[in-house]
Amino acid sequence: MNNFWQDCLAQIKAMKLPPMIITNWFEPIELVRWDSERSDMVLEAPASKVQTIRATYLKTIQDVAVHLYGGQVKVTLQAVGALAGDVQTPAQPKGPSLEDIERRREETGLLPGLTFENYVNGNANQLAVAAAEHVATTMGMQYNPLYIYGGVGLGKTHLMQAIGHRYLDLHPKARVRCISAQDFISEYTTATRDSSSSRKALQIFDERYRNLDLLLIDDVQSFSGAKGSQAQFYRAFEALVPHNKQVVLTADTYTRNLKDIEQRLISRFSQGLSVAIEPPELEMRIAILLNKAKALGAALPEEVAMFIAKRLKSNVRELEGALQQVIAYQQFQPSAAKEITIDIAKHVLRDQFSVNNNLITIESIQKTVADYYNIKVAEMHSKRRPANIARPRQIAMYLTKELTQHSLPEIGANFGGRDHTTVMHAVRKITQERQGNAELNHEIHVLEQMIKG
């Protein structure tokens, strides 16, 4: 291993992180010393980048080094120009107490525990996590706004809050505000009402959002129809983003699918980076259950985690709720076994496991898809083939095949008497396209959740 760091860097590049992250934070790193006998690697980076790399990316470097070496590796990062081995950082002045820090974060709207360290990464959210970590350390310079979208219970709020926590770790005195769109509407409504007696109420509200370093808005789809709040948020947006103040947004759908929101806002939402969070794959669901059990102080065998994860697939919230039920039963039932077993999980979660796909009907799928794409249900049966109708019809056929036990001829018969080969073509077409089309893949995930209720 002549240059162990170059091997590590090649492995990091293979992780398919955004190119800007590789260029800005990994490629400037140089090897100072690699002692394979002592498994000790010393790296150096420009002084301006050292703090961010330590806070955000050093763990990734450590994990890759351990993987390549096949054992524990000590990784040390120092600023360029420091003497090899001289990695001590200057003593820091005494800062605020932990209690003061927690209180200030609560005042900004950030909740304890919703950090990157407690967030489980996987293929379903890899790009979103990488973008969030990048934004948290390079505020306003790129990816502004960052728009995170996905279905219910997939971890959008956690990821958004993690950005706030990391940013305050790096900039303790920064002005940060984390709020849901619904609470923003309520604040604006109150300020408008109070302004009837004093103009200061609206002025205070306006200044609160125009003078931030970081604004985090959750569930922006809730702005739908709230014209006054939309106008006020637009003012805040225009005061922040052009001045490199970061805005992070979450929503349940892609920007173009937002309903009853001004076009100028949708245009602004789309000007940065949009990243999707998809339902977690099996390995990620297992990891979520094991991590949550550990946080709750419960011993969850991996085979039980796998048993639950194979049966509950829709979102993180459902998984965590199921785990809470199992742990509570095991702790409070005198007759229950001391260890959590598959039999206990099967008994406690029997109602959730018994959800039958036969309860999903072709009619319910057709109505959900038609409503989502703003067409009439009758169009599912018609012979018309314009793109705005043919596409939703193919998606409805695909979902019917995926979510019900109906045969291809039965599906065709319920879509205007179409031949089974037409249904087969639709299923194959949507299956192939969703693999390379992130927006279509997200739309289908959303529709699946809506159909399953």
Chain segment 364-410, per-residue pLDDT in tens: 899 999 999 999 998 899 888 888 899 999 999 999 998 887 888 88
Do the annotations mark residue 156 as ligand-binding?
yes
CATH classification of the domain holding 161? 3.40.50.300
Same domain, 156 and 191: yes
Give the CA-trace dihedral at 357, 363, 366, 372, to 10 degrees.
-80
The tally of CA atoms less than 13 A away on the side-chain side of residue 384 is 12
Edge to edge, the sheet with strand 30-35 lists 30-35, 40-45, 74-79
153: which DSSP letter? T
For residues 339 and 377, membership in a common domain is answered with: no
| Residue 442, domain member (yes or no) | yes
Shared domain for 288 and 259, answered yes or no, is no
Contacts of 113 (CB under 8 A, 6+ apart): none
Question: How much is the pLDDT for 328?
Answer: 87
Q: Does 44 reside within a domain?
A: yes
Domain end position, chosen among 248, 276, 304: 276
Phi, psi of 147 (to 5 degrees): -115, 110
DSSP state, residue 215: E
Looking at the 3D structure of the chain, how many domains does it have? 4
pTM of the model: 0.62
Residue 429 gets which letter from DSSP? Answer: H
Query: What is the phi/psi pair of residue 34, to 5°?
Result: -130, 115
Q: What is the pLDDT of residue 246?
A: 94
Q: So what's the pLDDT on residue 235? A: 92
Domain final position from 216, 247, 276: 276
Both 337 and 370 in a single domain?
no
How many other β-carbons are positioned within 10 Å of the β-carbon of residue 290? 19
Residues 307 and 378 in one domain: no
**Cα dihedral sign for 83, 84, 89, 91?**
negative
Total residue count of the chain as it appears in this document:
453
Cβ contacts of residue 28 below 8 Å, gap of 6+? 45, 46, 49
Pair 133, 252 in one domain = yes
- Structural domain range at position 45: 4-79
pLDDT at residue 86, rounded to an integer? 47
Residue 225 marked ligand-binding: no
CATH number where 403 lies:
1.10.1750.10
321 among annotated binding-site residues: no
> Are both 121 and 180 inside the same structural domain?
yes
Residues 249 and 289 both lie in one domain: no
Is 95 part of any domain?
no
Rounded to the nearest 10 degrees, what angle do helices 126-137 and 156-170 cross at? 30
Domain annotation covers residue 386: yes
My answer on whether 202 and 160 are in the same domain is yes
Q: What is the CA radius of gyration of the chain?
A: 25
Could you tell me if 342 and 394 lie in one domain? Answer: no
The answer to the question of residue 88 being in a domain is no
| 134 in any annotated domain | yes
Same domain as 375, residue 341 = no
Query: Which CATH number belongs to the domain containing residue 328 in this structure?
Result: 1.10.8.60
**Annotated binding residue at 157?**
yes
* DSSP-assigned states of every residue in 252-298: SS-GGG--S--HHHHHHHTTSEEEEEPPPPHHHHHHHHHHHHHHTT-
- Residue 247: which H helix or E strand, with range? strand 246-251
Q: Is residue 87 part of a domain?
A: no
276, 311, 334: which is the final residue of a domain? 276
pLDDT tens readout for residues 313-345: 777 888 888 998 988 887 777 665 678 888 888
Q: Are residues 200 and 232 in the same domain?
A: yes
Residue 436 lies in a domain: yes
Residue 142 three-state SS: coil
Q: Divide the 453 residues of the chain into consecutive groups of 10 and give the mean pLDDT of each group.
A: 82 74 84 90 88 80 87 89 51 52 79 84 83 84 88 88 90 90 92 75 86 93 92 93 93 87 92 86 87 85 89 81 88 72 86 63 91 90 87 94 86 91 92 85 84 73
DSSP 180: E
